[in-house]
């Protein structure tokens, strides 16, 4: 019973979010990635850092993992809510 109910609940939730136009980042805890030019990426709503080297930063978010690839990557600051990555960005990819 529970297994059938859960997708239904999800459906209801997404319906509510859609119809009331509620912000998705709050409702789903979706990650927000703001890339400014090639040198700056601002990541909000992440859970934690999995891996960090100068060429690759892997972050855990609620639903997926986000990898920022580049050169000379530096975390300018990071708090519970957001982090700012600077450096030469070469790619942003999502892995489940």
Partner 1 sequence: MLIDKIKYLQGYVRVRLYGYAPERFLNLCSNHNILIWNLEYREEQYEFCISVRGLRQLKPILKKTRTKLVILERTGLPFVMRRYRKRKLFFAGIILCCGLLYTMSLFVWKIEINGNLHETDSNIIKFLEGHQVYHGLLKSKIDCDKIEEELRAGFGDIIWASAKLEGTMLIIDVQENLATNQQAEAKQEEDGTPTDLVADKEAVIYSILTRKGTPKVEKGIHVKPGDLLVEGKNPVLNDAKEVASYQYCVSDADILGITEYPYQDSFPLQYDDKSFSGSQSETFGVRIFQKQLKIPHISHKFESYDTITDEYDVKIGETFYLPLVLIKETRKEYKIVPKQYHPSKAKQLAKENLESFCKELTEKGVQIIENNVMIVTDGKKCTASGILKVIEPIGKRKATSMADIQQEGQMENESDGNNR
Residues of span 21-80 touching partner 1 by CB under 8 A: 47-54, 73-80
Q: Does residue number 19 form part of the binding site for partner 1 (CB under 8 A)?
A: no
Helix (H, G, I), strand (E, B) or coil at 53: coil
Q: Please give the size of the binding site for partner 1, defined by CB under 8 A.
A: 16
CB of 33 to partner 1, least distance (A): 17
How many Cβ atoms sit within 10 Å of the Cβ of residue 31? 20
To partner 1, the closest distance from the beta carbon of 56 in angstroms equals 9
* Alpha helices in 21-60, H assignment, sequence order: 24-28
Name the CA dihedral angle for 16, 27, 93, 53, rounded to a multiple of 10 degrees. -170
Query: What is the contact surface with partner 1 in residues (CB under 8 A)?
Result: 47-54, 73-80
């Amino acid at each position: 019973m529970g297994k059938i109910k859960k997708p239904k609940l999800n459906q209801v939730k997404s319906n509510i979010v859609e119809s009331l136009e509620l912000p998705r980042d709050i409702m789903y805890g979706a990650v927000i990635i703001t890339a400014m030019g090639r040198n700056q990426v601002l990541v909000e709503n992440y859970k934690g850092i999995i891996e960090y080297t100068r060429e690759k930063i892997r972050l855990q978010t609620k639903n997926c993992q986000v990898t920022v690839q580049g050169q000379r990557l530096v975390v300018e600051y990071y708090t519970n809510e957001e982090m700012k990555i600077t450096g030469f960005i070469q790619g942003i990819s999502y892995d489940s």
